Amino acid sequence: MHASQTPYILFNRKDHWPKQIYQCIRESPAYYELELNIQLITIWKSLLPNGIQMKHDARKHDKNERMKHMLNWIHQHYHEKILLQDIARAGQLSRSECCRSFKDILKKSPMHYVNEYRIQQSLILLQETDLNITEIAYQVGFNSTSYFINLFKRIKNTTPFAYRKLKQTDSLQIKRVEEN
């Protein structure tokens, strides 16, 4: 799992492993998560003795670990005021190195990631609560409702209100289908 020089392994269409995994996901039988783990372990067991070279780059591994720490920190504190230096501190990096890491790995700035994550969290509140838009904006870490609405519209191509209304309509249609 530390083979940072092997970002992916391409399977041949004739390989049976991917088909078994896709089938397991599609069918979602009871305990399918365990079945997926069994399949993945079987794949690794077959790949390693058959010549797949697993190279470990300690620097790249450390960089990925730091990114995990920064992302975990963001996920725990997204509803609070977040400064770049807070994110950098979570990864034990300087602010400039933090920005470079985000650009290299996620192809976006740290604050762009924070805002996208906040919008994703707002989707849950829009669907599952009756909180008004301002309350949701504050709960996910925005201190301006208008900024939240503008950013939401830029990212989701709709307003929070329209999104909520659409999801409520979808939910009603699903209930009607289930009743019939």
Q: What is the pLDDT of residues 38-57, one digit of tens each?
A: 877 877 777 766 666 666 56
- The C-alpha torsion from 135 through 140 and 146 to 151, rounded to 10°, is -150
Query: What's the pLDDT band for 151 if we cut at 50, 70, 90?
Result: very high
Considering the domain architecture, whether residues 124 and 139 belong to the same structural domain is answered as: yes
Considering the domain architecture, whether residues 63 and 8 belong to the same structural domain is answered as: no
CATH number at residue 138: 1.10.10.60
pLDDT at 41: 83
Residue 76 belongs to what domain range? 58-107
- pLDDT of residue 163 exceeding 70, the answer is yes
Considering the domain architecture, whether residues 122 and 103 belong to the same structural domain is answered as: no
Considering the domain architecture, whether residues 175 and 153 belong to the same structural domain is answered as: yes
- In this prediction the pTM is 0.67
CA distance 68 to 65: 5
Nearest to 168 by CA among 126, 132, 137, 134: 126
Considering the domain architecture, whether residues 119 and 173 belong to the same structural domain is answered as: yes
Q: What is the pLDDT of residues 74-132, one digit of tens each?
A: 999 999 999 999 999 999 999 999 999 999 999 999 999 999 999 999 999 999 999 99
Q: What is the pLDDT of residues 1-35, one digit of tens each?
A: 455 555 556 666 666 656 666 666 667 677 778 88
List of residues 6+ apart from 36 with CB closer than 8 A: 21, 24, 25
DSSP secondary structure string for all residues of 8-31 = --PPPTT-HHHHHHHHHHHH--TT
Question: What is the total count of domains within the chain?
Answer: 3
Considering the domain architecture, whether residues 76 and 51 belong to the same structural domain is answered as: no
Considering the domain architecture, whether residues 119 and 175 belong to the same structural domain is answered as: yes
